[in-house]
Amino acid sequence: MRKTRAILSAALFLAACGEDGTKNDGDLPLADAAANDAAADGATPDARTADAAAADARAPDALTPDAAPPPHLTEPRARIYAGDPITDDGQLTEVTLPETNNPEGRLTNAWANVHNCINEPGGLTATPDLGGLRITVSLCHEVQTARPDADGHYLSIAPPADDADPNDRFAEVMMYFHVNRVHDFFKGTFGFTGRDDSLYSLVNVQFKTEPRLPIPGLDIGPDGWIAFPNAAYFPEESWNELAQSFGLPPREGDSIIFGQASVDFAYDARVIYHEYTHAVIGTSRLQTRVLDAYGLNDDPRAMNEGLADYFAASIAGDAVIGRYGLGELDATAVRDLSVPRRCPADLADEVHADGRIIGSATWAIRDAIGAEAADRIIFRALEQFGPSTTMPLAGELILAEAAGEGAEIEATVRGILRDFGVIECERAQRLTNWRATLLPRVVEGTASAGVAGLRAFVPGFAQHYVDVPAGTAAVRLSWTVVGGGGLGGLGAVFGGGGPAQLGVAVRRGAPVGIAVEDGAAVLTRDAEIDPPATRDDQVYRQSVVLGPECLGDAARLYLMFLNRQENPANILAMKAEPLDALPAEDLETCGAVGPDAGVGSDAAPAADAGVASDAGADADAAPADAARPAPDAQ
């Protein structure tokens, strides 16, 4: 099952390569123009169709062989979406593109190297052997198709009649303009030179598998090409590690790739800014999970997403991320930073969802003190983050930068960070009767936790608590889980999830404690229970009744879920029922309060608890429910 996951992930990684398996060098970059400096052209949807037809008729490749090459202009003109098709109401804006450094005018310069991934033979392939089953994964063909018109401008290149067009040239123009714009923002505003390179950017990505693999959430066209509803940043290291395992050539440099589904992710400027910000954050910041007093902590990776959202929104001056790229596929996936999200109430065990906490907090700071000061404070703090910086530490670093702006600003920022739970958060949520409507609650497995040494068990990302009313005789806990693994951690979808069963640690009056002593995880709890699981179709149900010895006289009971299996477990429902009378079934007894070192051996020492998360930062499809990965692109 893990091999199947790797194969499907490989399809996405492969797309970040050049035609020969390596990145094309300096003369083929991706670029973005800094100025939205012209008026909207007033194109209607009907006009777009006409423009697309005209573009085909006037394409440079259609010129006669003896025609003079178009002039190479220093300020060529083009038309793009300043934001996205929805925000701009289908209207295009005429802009000046940065000069290319390719003599034919292909869209490449010092900051950008834009390629189109055409649905035709010629792309990279991998054919791994899965224990006798051979699956061939083929990528679309990476070429540069956008070229200037006879007058040196790109005004003939317009959106196609159908946004699902897998080969359109307009996506290249969008990517070139907006990558240059976001590069110029970070360099011009903060003097940031860490991305002064020609970032390989690929649009219209789709892939094939042979034999065809039905992948939930991904549509297979009649020609066998599989839609890729996502966008992602891929560090060089991620590709090379995966390429080696499949016998493919390494490549130099990072890349961002944008998929083609029923919508074109390259048409959404804020998605481009988001992925580019991941490249700015890089691989030395906000990459690892850590173990802390409440369990497994994914703060660093969630903040990587949330801060990518923040800067994308701030550059655009609009709090909504993915209005088109995400919203046209799933309205619930759109992220609006103007909607406050707080810790712990809004924790959801998924990095894009949890990233909304720091994203909405920083947007509130921007609203309170202005974009210029907020951007400066947040970027300067970000430069000090490490791979395992947690949200409270990030909050303190943001506060330190805010203090340099004056006492009034520091007080304002402190109040916002405290209100949103950034600097003070007990990661425990009240449990009554919960059912997944969008995202399951995930408890990672020992093979997927991403924290070295957690081989005996993995704690959940947050704890839960039950308020025990006076006179309660017992509390019945019940939950429903499905096995994880495969794409998005949902291996049961592919028949590889296996049985799912969780244990639960219980403590009266205080959160369950977890620490590392002599290389072994040590829980401070009153009981650790592993109730049997009953299978109901693909779902497993568990329950336990906590009797008087478990409840004691505590007004609050804390719970930590524990996964002892290799694969993640996705919780679909949880329920806590205070009972007025003792039930007929057996009651669990909880023993004495205090630490117990007899569980969870092999945990890493605290200083080494965090290790890099799965390669391929962003590969951003978050699970939308227990049956399919969401179309979340960022």
Residue closest to 165 by CA, chosen among 201, 131, 118 = 118
Confidence (pLDDT) at 3? 37
Confidence (pLDDT) at 562? 96
Query: Can you list the domains of the chain with their CATH numbers?
Result: 2-281 (3.10.170.10), 288-419 (1.10.390), 428-603 (2.60.120)
Confidence (pLDDT) at 632? 41
| Cross-strand partners of 145 | none
| pLDDT higher at 315 or 631 | 315
Q: Please state the pTM of the whole predicted model.
A: 0.84
Q: Check if the beta carbon of residue 546 is closer than 8 Å to that of residue 474.
A: yes
| pLDDT higher at 123 or 185 | 185
> What is the average pLDDT across 543-558?
93
Q: Cα–Cα distances in Å, from 606 out to 64, 444, 518? A: 68, 19, 10
> What is the average pLDDT across 572-593?
84
- Vertex 165, ends 159 and 166: CA angle to 5°? 120
Confidence (pLDDT) at 615? 32
Confidence (pLDDT) at 519? 73
Taking only Cα atoms into account, the Rg of the chain, rounded to an integer number of angstroms, comes to 26
Residue closest to 145 by CA, chosen among 290, 28, 301, 280 = 28
> What is the average pLDDT across 17-28?
31
Average pLDDT of the residues of the chain: 82
Task: Give 60's contacts (C-beta < 8 A, 6+ positions apart).
Answer: 70, 147, 148, 149, 150
The 8-class DSSP code of residue 32 comes to B
Confidence (pLDDT) at 634? 55
Pairing of strands 199-210, 112-118: parallel
| Banded pLDDT at 127 (limits 50, 70, 90) | confident
Q: Which residue has the tokens 């992710």?
A: 265
Q: Cα–Cα distances in Å, from 76 out to 59, 72, 281? A: 16, 8, 31
Q: What is the pLDDT of residues 338-351, one digit of tens each?
A: 999 999 999 999 99
Confidence (pLDDT) at 9? 44
> What is the average pLDDT across 105-130?
91
Q: Is the pLDDT of residue 52 over 50?
A: no
> What is the average pLDDT across 440-469?
90
Instruction: Report d(CA 31, CA 630) in Å as an integer.
Output: 29
Q: What is the pLDDT of residues 248-273, one digit of tens each?
A: 677 789 999 999 999 999 999 999 99
| pLDDT higher at 585 or 334 | 334
Confidence (pLDDT) at 62? 39
Confidence (pLDDT) at 131? 63
Residue closest to 98 by CA, chosen among 19, 177, 17 = 177
Q: What is the pLDDT of residues 397-454, one digit of tens each?
A: 999 999 999 999 999 999 999 999 999 999 999 998 999 988 899 999 998 888 876 8
Pairing of strands 112-118, 133-134: unpaired
Q: How many CA atoms lie within 13 A of 77 on its CB side?
A: 11
**How is residue 631 written in tokens?**
């179309």
DSSP for 314-354? HHHT-SEE-TTTTTTT-GGG-EETTS---TTTT--SSHHHH
Residue closest to 489 by CA, chosen among 291, 203, 298, 231 = 298
> What is the average pLDDT across 187-198?
97
Confidence (pLDDT) at 210? 86
Task: Give 607's contacts (C-beta < 8 A, 6+ positions apart).
Answer: none
Percent of the chain at pLDDT exceeding 70: 78
Q: Check if the beta carbon of residue 310 is closer than 8 Å to that of residue 278.
A: no
Q: Report helix angle 2-14 to 236-245, nearest 10.
A: 130
Characterize 541-562 residue by residue with b for buried, 16 or more Cβ atoms within 10 angstroms of its Cβ, and e for exposed.
bbbbbbbeebbeebeebbbbbb
Hey, how many other C-beta atoms are within 10 angstroms of the C-beta on 594? Answer: 9
Instruction: Report d(CA 354, CA 296) in Å as an integer.
Output: 14
Instruction: Report d(CA 139, CA 614) in Å as an integer.
Output: 21
| Banded pLDDT at 517 (limits 50, 70, 90) | confident
**How is residue 394 written in tokens?**
């990030």
Q: Report helix angle 299-316 to 391-403, nearest 10.
A: 40
Which ranges of 404-452 does DSSP label H, i.e. alpha helix? Answer: 407-419
Element (H, E) at 53: helix 45-57
Instruction: Report d(CA 301, CA 616) in Å as an integer.
Output: 12
